[in-house]
Amino acid sequence: MSLRHSILGLLSIKPMSGYELKRVIDESVGHFWTADQSQIYRTLAGLVDEGLASRRTVVQDQRPNLHLHSTTEEGLAELDRWLASPLKTTVAREPFLARLFFASRMPVEGVQKLLDTRRQEVSAQLAALKAISISAADADGSDEIAEATPVARTLRLATLANGIAHARTELDWLDATEQQLKGIAP
């Protein structure tokens, strides 16, 4: 997946500014695809240069001008090509697992601290995903999920459920790993 396709997908839902795209990414697809503000603006500029997106300026009183981006017909065609293309298998890189693999060099307390830190990170991620789930369920009509077609809503909520399931599974795995270590630690 590329950021450009994520942005085209989000812009296919509705026109957005770079600032709004960052917020929407963080609140919707951020658990499986992230980007910082500068990446978003660079990607938007490239999409406009390639004719895959357009940009219009909305003059605002008392605030800076708003630059709204929309997909073009060519951008929608590119998004459709990407959606239909074969998925390339990616090699996973898990920094935490790499550390854990070599953590036997540390005292047991250090390994426990490593596991505790990871548990805090995953717990925070799970809480954030649950908050998205709650806001999606309580949507008042202004939310992108609430405005989606039934198929789009189902698929967007399915990606959220996947993130929640992964976080819960990792927490269960951390529990099991700690129990195993307790059984062998001196």
Place of tokens 């999409």: 47
Q: What is the pTM of this model?
A: 0.79
Q: Residue 29: enclosing H or E segment and its boundaries?
A: none
What CA–CA distances, in Å, run from 173 to 98, 100, 122, 128? Answer: 16, 13, 11, 20
Burial class (CB in 10 A: 0-12, 13-18, 19+), 71: buried
Does residue 148 have a pLDDT over 80? no
CB 4 within 8 A of CB 47: yes
- Could you report the per-residue pLDDT of 57-111, keeping only the tens digit for each? 998 889 888 899 999 999 999 999 999 999 888 888 899 999 999 999 999 899 9
Percent of the chain exceeding pLDDT 70 equals 90
